[in-house]
Structure 1
């Protein structure tokens, strides 16, 4: 076996072991009533607390704990990570009686978590633990213990936390998503917590990226086509919207409409005779990512944005979406 083959075999084996671990957890959840009960009770407790969720762990469990805290925080549950050692040197003061502790320890015997358990007992702070042993010190002293099945580590020596860390992460994600769905956490809520980066761009609203006011190419019904051509050229969108007497968008004229009506008397016609009726529009509160999907599926480059009464509030070009990183 070549070095390359050995590396590929190792990677394949690790991925398979990880997949087996997740499958074992899912099977145990379906088979064991006590495990499913602990998951449900954990979500109930997380949803009912008025304070914050304080996550703690040591070593690889600590790294997983940081990610769990970040996921909870980004999905609407106020959460942060406290290192158990720092907690023993003053950071216990960050935890209030209204908070909730989530403690991660695969063995359930992590000594550094002892002071946090003592503190929780003294101030009646509920504890959710994620371990692999119901008989462990941490599980026995928890309000709710989520006990995971013992799984094979991907490490050939069975020492480096690999599959076990993945299971802890999966449990954290499962709790966070269950809370998200229970609370009806919406894309608009996501936007509040994710204003930056790729996700922030996709969560922007159509109106935020649209051109409004005088930048919109608009004419009233009955206007001559000579004005429409000027609007199409000067505003740079290649279209012009036609307003009805009620202020709503009654039609739209595109380059295609011009070609279909090309004649010597085109400029003398009124816009009503050339425009396409019932134009495709999008609501102002539509996500930018949804607007991009619509443009791609319909093979169009420009959309008018309308308000609650159907009045045009902006115009959006596909280039606006691309510049904002929505793709």
Structure 2
């Protein structure tokens, strides 16, 4: 799908005009959005706009990080929107000059729809030009990063609350999954942060200067997101270490119980082993109280050793 918007100074705006009439209209500036275009519509990008083949190729074939390239007559942006289900990037390509913006994306995106509605739906924004449209797109993209980070923070809070729940055997797997999600977010956010830094400090984007405060605000949001992501990564490390430490303590307690039981039974086995030998000359075997005396001795040994371990503090934990 292709949608178009054009603004003529001191006149009304034009919507959904045909690209064939683009050269006939004296637009102050215009926006053409290629939304999940078909193959014939992709050919129109090559036909109606004299863009460098490399920038068109970068638009069609994904796998690019956010970047800013300068070509003769226009600037080329690649932005990364966020897929809420996988936290992977979705690319948006922008061809921008002082009198036009061409957006290209292979998936329909709410960020573009919201920016389009904000720019074209309010007459007060028509005169602000392509740089304002770029700001709106960037702002909507970055706004979608925050819910993903907040959701991860909520997951970490729930994990922290259940940290002492021994039945939560999936806890460590959840922590590692969250660390993976944070790594995906960090790659996107840091790349977009670097892109905003280039926009703010570029001398080849003069039309962006009038909206510098807006772009600076987005850059601040990305800095905040970077700090939040790093903070959450540290929390996952702390949770992992705490979980492993608690598991280690739990294992130590079990080993302590097994050690006490084994130690108590060593002398008992020794006594039982002596009287289990088949010697003929063992007088106490024929004594009518022999069994009870030996049994009492074994019980006494067991109780004595138990009390000794308790006195030494083995059962304090």
Higher Cα radius of gyration: 2
- Fold equivalence (TM over 0.5): no
TM-score normalised to the size of structure 1? 0.24
More helix by share: 2
